């Protein structure tokens, strides 16, 4: 594994494989009327999702994260279940595919090993609100319809697109390759019964109490966002899913 970035006191300088995302603000799905947008500091985000090949190199060096060796508290039983073996990630062409069936713990450990971290949900959503041409496409009905179609066609059995979509920041495949882990995936959750006023089993912060799926949503027509939030709401840190991968982020020092 090549380390393509310098590690300085735990902060990584963006490598060429990372994209610098400038500071800005965005409106999360759940925010009260009149509440200011959420500020997002500048950060760097992996241009691409982590691949099987990259994850194979990681587990090669860190046996504790191999399938069959990982502790049960850190990953459920389907961890890396699509791999033929603990150190076999599939045929050559599979190595370039996004790694799936990794738990939050494993994703976090991977990023940490690269001197990076997982993006926060705010960072991820902020970067992911860019269309191919506009950095803030959050109010772009066409972009939203496009995402909905992407998600709808994203059946787990469906082949991945030949080329991932690149957004206005230069980040690739945020929406078309699968769901992605975020550092704080369960800090803002949709209640399990998404119509009830905020009493989700994982209620942990103030957002929950205005988090009825529609009431309290800044934009009840943002179905793609509802879908992402609903997926996150169901996750635990040891969950692994066929359709869930990740990429890493870094807090820039330059």
Interface with another protein by CB under 8 A: which residues? 78, 141, 144-145, 148-149, 151-157, 179, 190-196, 199, 201, 213, 221, 223, 226-227, 229-231, 233-235, 239, 241-243
Please, what is the minimum distance in Å from the beta carbon of residue 33 to another protein? 19
Instruction: Please identify, using beta-carbon distances, which residue of 9 and 156 lies nearer to another protein.
Output: 156
Which of residues 13 and 140 has its CB atom nearest to another protein in the complex? 140
Distance of alpha carbon 86 from alpha carbon 69, whole angstroms = 8
- Smallest separation (angstroms) from another protein to the CB of 124: 18
Distance CA 88, CA 124 (A): 30
From 190, 250, 252, select the one nearest 216 (Cα to Cα): 190
At its nearest, how many Å lie between another protein and the CB of residue 154?
6
Look up tokens 């450990």; give the residue. 109
The angle, 0 to 180 degrees and rounded to 10, between the axes of the packed helices 223-234 and 121-128 is: 150
- According to DSSP, the residues that pair with 20 across neighbouring strands are 44
Distance CA 254, CA 245 (A): 28
* Least distance from another protein to the Cβ atom of residue 197, Å: 11
Residue located via tokens 């001197």 = 115
Q: How far is 224 from 174, CA to CA, in rounded Å?
A: 12
CA distance 106 to 96: 19
CB of 252 to another protein, least distance (A): 33
- Closest CB to another protein among residues 241, 249: 241
Shortest separation between residue 193's beta carbon and another protein, angstroms? 3
CB closer to another protein out of 74 and 151: 151
The residue among 73 and 149 lying less far from another protein, judged by its C-beta, is: 149
Q: Which is nearer to another protein, 138 or 239 (CB)?
A: 239
Packing angle, helices 104-113 and 52-61, rounded to 10: 80
Distance CA 70, CA 82 (A): 15
């Amino acid at each position: 594994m090549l380390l393509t970035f310098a590690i300085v006191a735990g902060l990584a300088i963006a490598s060429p494989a990372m994209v610098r995302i400038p500071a800005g603000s965005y409106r999360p799905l759940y925010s009260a009327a009149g509440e200011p947008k959420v500020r997002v500091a500048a950060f760097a985000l992996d241009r691409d999702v982590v691949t099987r090949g990259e994850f194979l190199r990681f587990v090669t060096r860190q046996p504790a994260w191999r399938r069959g060796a990982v502790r049960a508290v850190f990953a459920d039983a389907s961890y890396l279940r699509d791999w033929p073996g603990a150190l076999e990630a599939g045929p050559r062409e599979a190595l370039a595919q996004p790694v799936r069936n990794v738990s939050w713990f494993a994703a976090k450990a991977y990023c940490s090993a690269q001197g990076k971290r997982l993006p926060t949900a705010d960072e991820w959503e902020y970067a992911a609100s860019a269309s191919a041409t506009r950095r803030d496409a959050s109010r772009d009905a066409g972009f939203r319809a496009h995402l909905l179609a992407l998600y709808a066609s994203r059946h787990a059995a469906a082949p991945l697109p030949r080329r991932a979509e690149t957004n206005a920041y230069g980040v690739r495949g945020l929406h078309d390759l699968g769901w992605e882990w975020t550092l704080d995936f369960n800090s803002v959750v949709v209640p399990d019964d998404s119509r009830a006023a905020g009493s989700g089993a994982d209620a942990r912060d103030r957002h929950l109490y205005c988090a009825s799926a529609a009431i309290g949503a800044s934009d009840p027509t943002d179905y793609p966002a509802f879908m992402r939030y609903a997926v996150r709401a169901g996750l635990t840190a040891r969950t692994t899913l066929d359709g869930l991968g990740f990429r890493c982020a870094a807090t820039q020092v330059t």
